Structure 1
Amino acid sequence: MKSICTMRDIYKAISSFEAEFEKAYQVSLNEAMVLCTLNEAKKPLTSSSIAERTEMKTSHASKVIRSVEEKGLIERELGSTDKRQMFFSLTPIGKKRLEDLGCEKVVIPELLQPLFAKK
């Protein structure tokens, strides 16, 4: 029973952190993960590659991709060999937003603070 209560507390801490994060940066944690994934890849990625790298279900990844695309943070381009395939990359606005992301403007719940400790 203790492990379930601990998981509940972790979930609540993450939920609280995400709400503060989104309020401060106008992107959700999932949207930020997509931006980070595209930045780390250093090349355009397909939606299935983004889903795989973020460990989101493909349908959820598609919704998140659509959301950050509507915010102008990523852009799509047609594949050069297969015109049905879409590749996504950061826009200049997306790169700037990613640079601005951090936790300085957000109170990190005590339970999560060890995860953010500088090593």
Structure 2
Amino acid sequence: MESICRLKDLYKILYAYEKQFAEEAGITINEGALLCCLKDGKPKSANELCDFIGLSGSRVSRIIHTIEEKGYILREIGVFDKRQMIFTLTDAGKQKIREMREFNIDVNSLMDRLKSVAEE
């Protein structure tokens, strides 16, 4: 039972971090992770995005839809396989990545708080 309580404490800390990030960045952590996957400038398939983020295909599909509506990514049909969708960053997406680099969210402090709860 005690481990469930500690897991709940960890979740609360992560939720507060995600909320702060969303307020400052204007996007969720998962949307930010998807943009980070594309930051190298190379087009990626939906499967590659799923693998990078570590979420289900249906969840990533919703994230793709949301940031596509925000104008951060572009969806194109695959050259060799017309069934495949390929995603790239738009100029607005590249700008959002630059903005995310400037956010003052202390990851080290977050890690310290998580370690503290995990070691209790």
Report what 2:37 is aligned to.
37
CA distance in 1, matches of 2:96, 2:26: 9
CA distance in 2, matches of 1:71, 1:109: 30
Deviations 1:78-117 (A, max 9, x none): 111122211001111111111111441x47695x2438xx
Give runs of aligned pairs for residues 1-119 of structure 1, distance below 5 A: 1-40=1-40, 42-102=41-101, 103-104=103-104, 106=105, 112-114=110-112
Identity %: 34
What SS does structure 2 have at the residue aligned with 1:88?
strand
RMSD: 2.1
CA distance in 2, matches of 1:85, 1:113: 38
CA distance in 1, matches of 2:53, 2:9: 23
Q: Indicate if the aligned counterparts of 1:78 and 1:84 stay in contact, CA closer than 8 A.
A: yes
- Structure 1 regions of 5+ residues with no counterpart? none
TM-score calculated relative to the size of structure 2: 0.82
Q: How many residues align?
A: 112
